[in-house]
Chains A and B, each alone.
Chain A
Amino acid sequence: DSGVTQTPKHLITATGQRVTLRCSPRSGDLSVYWYQQSLDQGLQFLIQYYNGEERAKGNILERFSAQQFPDLHSELNLSSLELGDSALYFCASSPGGSSNQPQHFGDGTRLSIL
């Protein structure tokens, strides 16, 4: 058990809809990272938050947004969903702001767009 909790585990929705994925980091970790994993693209970094502030941005679409709350949990919002957004979305956390500190991953949210 990595200590990182992601909810929900599975999400099925339709094109054009909006969903929110939730992540609780390991106790004491200040950084949260979001990744998208698909068969054709592999594991792609989306965005990092550190202690409530955006720290780094990767290949995140404008339709996607994230935030980290004062209690350090984070949410990833995906809107105007398209078929191609179907993927596994992982959250990871680490103690500090360095992205190459060991990142502890949750078990992901599997998003299926019908």
Chain B
Amino acid sequence: QKEVEQDPGPLSVPEGAIVSLNCTYSNSAFQYFMWYRQYSRKGPELLMYTYSSGNKEDGRFTAQVDKSSKYISLFIRDSQPSDSATYLCASARTSYDKVIFGPGTSLSVIP
């Protein structure tokens, strides 16, 4: 079992829809949670970074962590074609531990 799991998709939504991307993890010691966005032929770029449980909002993006169920979510409001990319969730146990990435979910936002 991989430590961080994601549905690979692809997920296709119409422009303006609310997108929900989800991850589960198996290691209860994870405390740091991240979402990265990766466009085709580019490196991942950090979207959201959270510590422990709770919500964090940044513009159209909201990250949610539920440590009791080991569930991580990223919500995208008013989705745009420019949001079409692969979204990687990632976790780490401590601030000096390696970051474990999920396999990524491919998202297409159709105009």
Contacts and interface: CB of A to CB of B under 8 A. Distances in A.
B25 interface: no
B102 A102 contact: no
A2 B45 contact: yes
Interface in A61-109: 90, 92, 97-108
Quick one: which of A43, A97, A100, A102 has the most chain B CB within 10 A? Answer: A100
Interface residues of B, number: 21
Nearest to A57: B98
A100 B102 contact: no
A43 B44 contact: yes
Given A102-B46, A105-B44, A43 B88 contact: yes
Nearest to B31: A100
Given A42-B102, A48-B98, A107 B41 contact: yes
B42 interface: yes
B111 interface: no
A45 B104 CA distance: 15
Contacts, number: 58
Contact of B97 (A2, A56, A90, A103): A56
Contacts of A99: 92, 95-99
A88 to B, nearest CB: 9
B78 to A, nearest CB: 25
Interface size range on A against B: 20 to 34
B100 interface: yes
A58 interface: yes
B43 interface: yes
A45 B49 contact: no
Given A105-B43, A105-B45, A97 B96 contact: yes
Interface of B: 32, 34, 41-46, 49, 88, 92, 95-104
11 contacts: A43-B104, A44-B101, A56-B97, A58-B98, A97-B96, A99-B95, A99-B99, A104-B46, A105-B43, A106-B43, A108-B43
